[in-house]
Amino acid sequence: MSKKCLGRLVGLKVFGLAVYIACALCFLASCGDDSSSGSDPKIELSTCDDTTEGAVDSLEGVRYVCSQGEWLNLSDSTADSSSTDSLKQKDPEVNQDTTKTVDSLNRDTVTTDTLSRQDSSEVADPDSSEKVSKESVGLEKVKVTGTFGYGIFDSRSSVVVEVLDDSFKSTGTSFPATISATDGSYSASDVSFTPPYARAYIQGKASDLLHGGSITLNDTLYALVSAKGKSGKANINVLTFLKSVYMQSLLKKSKTTTEAKASEKASNAVWKMFNFDADGLGHVDSVTSFAGSEPGAAMLAVTILMQSFVKDTVASLWNVAADFADGSWDDSLARAKIADWAFNEDVNDDFETVHKNVEKLGLAPVPDFEKYIRMFYRAELGIEACSDENAGTIFFSKNPFSAYYASELSDVSVTSARFICDKNTGAWREALDKEKDTYGFEAGQDGEIRQGLVNAGIIYTYNEASDSWRVVSSDVDINNYFVDKSNITDFVDIKTVYEGLKADEKVIFLLRHGQRDQNATSKEDGLSQAGLDSSKHVGKKLTKFKEPMRLGASEFYRAQQTVIGIAMGRGQDTTIADTIPELNDDWYMIDRQLVNQAESDAGGGWEATSLYTYTGAYSGEDATIKAYYNLEERSAELIELLYNKYKDGSDRFIMLSSHDKLMVPFVAYCSKLRINMNVKGGGTWINYFAGIAIIWDKSGNRRYEAFKGLKEAYFQGW
């Protein structure tokens, strides 16, 4: 053979030993052989080293391949067997081009090395050809059979048996299997490999047990082939896939561990990872279908649980398998997510939809998979079976990864959902507000008011006649309760209130506008220069939190200037989002003309407002001049109006500006008249920038605080 042809041959990059041989023959036929003859191929053939690895040459009709610095004879019986049988097979027709899998929770990627999952491109590496050639000495022809279960895959699936090396990496040699569309079985004849290093792959369409129909899978499942003599077996399903992943780890970790011991240990670990009794279910390899057995019911339960994780079943299985490669499924968040789905499905549907979807597979009778799903989620969430013994019990999960977690009944940091064991149905269901809010309430005193244990914004009162707690629907009763609980006695600095807010609390600051000139009383009149400066000063106190304040005010220009100045002091946008007519100075007034009469009768506006607020004058059916609304009812109405306007919004801080003739009655109500602004009874009028903070958390729990924006809370004069 000419040096030119040999050089071209040595440099050729090919895919698999079979391709090397075929290409070599083509070159030899076209170029001829001009090498000198001799009896020693190591002398007569060209140099075999790293640069010529995989090259094929011939001498006196005998073909050789360069492997690890030596020319190996390809004409002996073992090499010919490898060449004419294994190497002529096609590469696996499975989608394995993804080298990493990413879990549905968008955390760290899982490398496929953990699973010994191989990209098909690896077979192009010369090392793969070397391994195939060296392993060929112990090859056996084995008939591989098994089932793949219609519960996951249907007859449109394909099965391939792939040969592995002793580190469970693909050699690039595979054998297609024949599938039986009637019983979910497959068979691959004359699979040449060194037991136990082969695995059966499957890909295709999976039955969607959750929603019906089918899912096109983006990836493959596999099971290691267990060979005895001339026969091998591999049932491919969720259980055997997980078992095979862990089994590979066991065999690679210890060279003394037998295949049988590794298989048994991995099988037990698979059952235990789903909180099942491994001793009662036997070996996972023996489970061939869903129908007719407890192990089949358990396998169906596992399949359903995995399908609930994400729509693409296999994608989620690769993530679970990566975690389970050490024999322990430690992903607490994934476990809790699946358990939450199972519990929710049980509570709302009793698995009826899933049961019907399984029936459509024609695997009747459908096994009792429900009990195994319940076995899984009860252990994960810490919930007992609903029975006569625990009827009426309220449940919430103590699993911190669960969507139903609560540290105690009143903890709503994650959810306010609670569940109750219904004594009529004998099953868990979501508890009603009254059931969870009054859970454990003993009989109270007639008319007694209590806050809901879970929904703190719902107030209950005890009815002695019916010996029951009922929801308080009156805004007055609700707000009177929170007023009593707040126990306001005096003004505190606005900065103290602002910086003392809890992380889950929102606040509405409702305050009197800044200073105006004494005669500037129209809607169009603005603040004095001192009022503008004071607004900015108040804003500078409120900078601890970076969130901007939502601005709102009455229709009066001076009120709008006030919140703009506060925003400027904070260094934030000064756009007024809300103009609120209810914050004008006439909120408590029924009729302006009657108010004028009351002011004339009392000796002035402050005086009439003081008498109305602190004595009830000019209000009620018996009043000679009925100029004002009932103080409690009107104040509660204002709170509900503002609370409902902002409670569900994204803004945490709301700054609103109003007027003294609204703020005096409102502050007096919220403090139960303990703050004295009664100019007719020894008190002092409210100062600029003083007001009430309405504070609430996500459960609806409310509290009120009186605050001052300036050094003094009471009016100091013009």
- Tell me the per-residue pLDDT of 446-470, one tens digit each, with 9 for 90 and over: 999 999 999 999 999 999 999 999 9
Q: If you average pLDDT over residues 423-443, what whole number do you get?
A: 95
Other C-beta atoms lying within 10 Å of the C-beta of residue 547: 10
Q: What is the pLDDT of residue 182?
A: 66
Beta strand 506-512 pairing with 492-493: unpaired
Q: If you average pLDDT over residues 481-487, what whole number do you get?
A: 96
pTM: 0.69
Q: What is the pLDDT of residue 73?
A: 63
> Does residue 598 register a pLDDT over 90?
yes
Tokens 């500078």 correspond to 540
Strands ordered across the beta sheet of 56-59: 56-59, 62-67, 70-73
**221 falls in which pLDDT band (50, 70, 90)?**
confident
pLDDT digits (tens, 9 = 90+) for 72-81: 665 443 333 3
Distance from C-alpha of 41 to C-alpha of 500, rounded to nearest angstrom: 90
Of the listed ranges 29-43, 448-462, 503-517, the least confidently predicted one is 29-43
Paired tokens of 167: 């580190």
Q: What is the pLDDT of residue 155?
A: 64
Helix (H) or strand (E) holding 529: helix 529-540
Of the listed ranges 22-36, 351-365, 603-617, 643-657, the least confidently predicted one is 22-36
Mean of per-residue pLDDT scores for the chain: 83
Distance from C-alpha of 299 to C-alpha of 185, rounded to nearest angstrom: 17
Distance from C-alpha of 204 to C-alpha of 157, rounded to nearest angstrom: 4
Q: If you average pLDDT over residues 598-612, what whole number do you get?
A: 97
Paired tokens of 319: 């993530």
User: Are the CB atoms for 372 and 298 separated by under 8 Å?
Assistant: yes
Domains defined along the chain, listed by start: 3-75 (no CATH), 100-275+297-324 (no CATH), 382-431 (no CATH), 486-588+629-708 (3.40.50.1240)
3-state secondary structure of 483: helix
**203 falls in which pLDDT band (50, 70, 90)?**
confident
Beta strand 170-176 pairing with 198-203: unpaired
Residues 6+ apart with CB under 8 A from 467: 443
Angle at 539 between CA 534 and CA 545, to 5 degrees: 165
Helix (H) or strand (E) holding 296: helix 294-309
> Does residue 273 register a pLDDT over 80?
yes
> Does residue 27 register a pLDDT over 50?
no
Beta strand 185-193 pairing with 110-111: unpaired
Q: How remote is the C-alpha of 278 from its chain's centroid?
A: 30
Closest CA to 444 of 423, 463, 416: 463
Q: What is the pLDDT of residue 530?
A: 96
| SS (HEC) of 194-255 | CCCCEEEEEECEEECCCCCCEEECCCCEEEECEEECCEEECCCCHHHHHHHHHHHHHHHHCC
Q: What is the pLDDT of residue 543?
A: 97
Of the ranges 38-42, 291-295, 306-310, 432-436, which is most confident?
432-436
Closest CA to 542 of 684, 441, 689: 689
Of the listed ranges 347-356, 357-366, 624-633, 638-647, the least confidently predicted one is 357-366
Identity of the residue numbered 640: E
Q: What is the pLDDT of residue 431?
A: 97
H-type alpha helices, 69-225: 77-84, 126-135
pLDDT digits (tens, 9 = 90+) for 133-190: 333 335 678 899 998 865 567 667 789 999 998 888 888 899 999 887 667 789 998 8
Distance from C-alpha of 9 to C-alpha of 3, rounded to nearest angstrom: 10
Identity of the residue numbered 278: A
Paired tokens of 96: 């394995």
Tokens 């106190």 correspond to 541
Identity of the residue numbered 405: Y
